[in-house]
Amino acid sequence: MIAEPPVSYKGTAMFSHLPHSYTAIVTGAGGGIGHAIVHALLKSSRLGRLIAISRDKSLNFDDARVTTLSLDLTQEGDRHRLKQSLGDQSVHLLFNAIGTLHDEQLSIWPEKHLEQLSADALAHLMHVNASTPILLIAALTASLQGKHPVIVASLSARVGSINDNGFGGWYSYRASKAAHNMLMKTAAIELARLNKRSIVLCLHPGTADTPLSQPFQARVPQGKLFSPAFVAQCLVDVIAKRTPEDTGSFWDWSGKPIEW
């Protein structure tokens, strides 16, 4: 059964750190969690403008505050197009929901054993899960630096925690998320110099009912498979509680910090 928000649950969808009419970018907006994050952000009148980015050309959120851009941000040319379209306009919230675990077309599946490792699969997951988010931040530096408040939130996964690795397996995914976390932590340090009001966060969404988790849902404990809408509300609340002192940290959907 998929866990939905309890009736009494009130997602705040409010970022007191960000100004009224703030500008947000959501990447992976065609994915399960990215799509739900867009809807969660749209619940707040504080949002001014949202740029939803996806490879999906048909994406439409039916809200005048949303601009959809059809881009593949794993590609340098499309990151450059985004950078050109923004110029040095301030971005207040960058939520990255791009990520991959398995890819049937590329015959990529999480490894259980060493002999299943492939250089191509390892490189692909590193590219999508680790290189793409940091190269995106690099492309948007002009919009993130300055004196305005900024939150950069990027979806990681608990299995990327080296301390938490008690089961092994999933080499490429674990390694790509650990690399993601190191890159975000490092960016947090530089962005703090470029913008004292910046907050960079790695987030674990729990297990959400999306195409990414679909093949692995049978082994999820009862009550621990969440709807994307529930996860999005929880993550928005987790982000809303953070301050610049929290920059460069890793949190789960319930608001608990995760060890690196």
Among 15, 18, 30, 69, binds ligand NAP (CB under 6 A): 30
- Our CB check for ligand NAP shows the closer of 197 and 208 to be 208
- Tell me the residue type at 154: S
Least distance CB 193 / ligand NAP (angstroms): 27
Among 13, 29, 42, 144, binds ligand NAP (CB under 6 A): 29
Site string for ligand NAP, 68-107 (x = CB under 6 A): ----x-x----------------------xxxxx------
Least distance CB 240 / ligand NAP (angstroms): 19
Are 203 and 253 spatial neighbours (Cβ–Cβ below 8 Å)? yes
In 3D space, the residue among 202, 169, 231 whose CA is nearest the CA of residue 33 turns out to be 231
Length of the chain: 260
Q: How far apart are CA 181 and CA 190, in angstroms?
A: 14
- Residue for token digits 């004292």? 196
> What residues contact 155, with CB distance under 8 A and at least 6 apart?
28, 33, 96, 97, 98, 99, 203, 204, 205
> What residues contact 190, with CB distance under 8 A and at least 6 apart?
none
For the CA atoms of 54, 19, 183, 212, the dihedral, rounded to the nearest 10 degrees, stands at: -40
> What residues contact 54, with CB distance under 8 A and at least 6 apart?
27, 28, 29, 30, 31, 34, 68, 69, 70, 71
Site string for ligand NAP, 132-161 (x = CB under 6 A): -----------------------x-x----
Least distance CB 151 / ligand NAP (angstroms): 17
Least distance CB 152 / ligand NAP (angstroms): 14
Q: SS3 letters for 170-188?
A: CHHHHHHHHHHHHHHHHHH
Are 156 and 130 spatial neighbours (Cβ–Cβ below 8 Å)? no
Kindly state whether residue 110 participates in binding ligand NAP, applying the rule CB under 6 A.
no
Among 90, 143, 195, 207, binds ligand NAP (CB under 6 A): 207
Among 11, 205, 244, 248, binds ligand NAP (CB under 6 A): 205
Binding span for ligand NAP by CB under 6 A among 9-17, 115-123, 181-189, 201-209: 201-209
Among 90, 198, 213, 249, binds ligand NAP (CB under 6 A): 213
Binding span for ligand NAP by CB under 6 A among 32-40, 141-149, 181-189, 249-257: 32-40
Q: How far apart are CA 65 and CA 183, in angstroms?
A: 31
Residue count, binding to ligand NAP (CB under 6 A): 28
Interaction with ligand NAP in 221-260: which residues (CB under 6 A)?
none
The residues binding ligand NAP (CB under 6 A) are 28-34, 54-56, 72, 74, 97-101, 128, 155, 157, 204-205, 207-208, 210-213
